[in-house]
A = this chain, B = another copy of it.
């Protein structure tokens, strides 16, 4: 209950019920007995090696909805493993346009975009009450020189981010509005399932506006797509609570011509 996030990778292995409340988040806790360990460290590390990770990570304070974990342009120090809650990342264009580039949930790593310039390339904003585990990057790099399996793990996390982004490019570049939403819902479903939560019933943590920004659509279009899925019997939706009624039907919907 008083544990701490380590280094995440998704797609994630089953991790049992990891969504227990954290009673005292200021406590310094160890990766070695974190209940996110199977989520964050699917790596063959010995107990001794995990203790080395413990030594470099800290549990940070809570964030409430709207709080910034970091801001675009800010100096890069650390990666963050999400221990509780969820975040969105967004890039802002000088003309005021904004694009949500991702929604991150428990066990995922955030901040990789900042490595190349040592400054954050996007904002990270809490979508709900959240806690993160801070991983100072210099120390992480040093440790990964010692531990090849940690090094490989770090590379995989970054590579996975690249693959994920390419998937979104495919979505944005070639899918129609309702297909985009179907892909989005199925992706959420998978990620909840990987965390031992229901793949068919969940609460959205983001607004229609935020979903739209992520999917390259206006909020009204997102809303219409939700309604259409509901009228087709594929889902049941009531503002932010969603039930996926016909998963195969949703999957089949993707790629269908008009």
Q: Are B172 and A173 in contact (CB under 8 A)?
A: yes
Question: How many whole Å from A94's CB to the nearest CB in chain B?
Answer: 7
Q: Are A166 and B115 in contact (CB under 8 A)?
A: no
Scan A137-165; emit 1 where CB is below 8 A from any B CB, else 0: 00001101100100110111111111101
* A152 CB contacts on chain B under 8 angstroms: 141
A residues near B (Cβ < 8 Å) are 9, 91, 93-95, 97-99, 101, 112-117, 121-122, 141-142, 144-145, 148, 151-152, 154-163, 165-170, 172-175, 213-216, 254-255
Q: Are B155 and A141 in contact (CB under 8 A)?
A: yes
14 contacts between A and B (CB under 8 A): A93-B170, A95-B254, A97-B255, A99-B170, A101-B169, A112-B162, A116-B157, A116-B162, A141-B148, A141-B155, A154-B155, A161-B162, A172-B172, A172-B216
Please judge, given known A-B contacts A121-B163, A172-B216, whether A255 and B156 are in contact too, CB under 8 Å: no
Number of chain copies forming the complex:
2
Query: CA–CA, A169 to B166, complex, Å?
Result: 9
Question: How many whole Å from A255's CB to the nearest CB in chain B?
Answer: 3
Q: Nearest 5 pairs between A and B by C-beta?
A: A95-B255, A173-B216, A115-B159, A165-B165, A172-B172
Question: How many whole Å from A174's CB to the nearest CB in chain B?
Answer: 5
Q: Closest B-chain residue to A153, C-beta based?
A: B116
* A254 CB contacts on chain B under 8 angstroms: 95
Q: Closest B-chain residue to A111, C-beta based?
A: B159
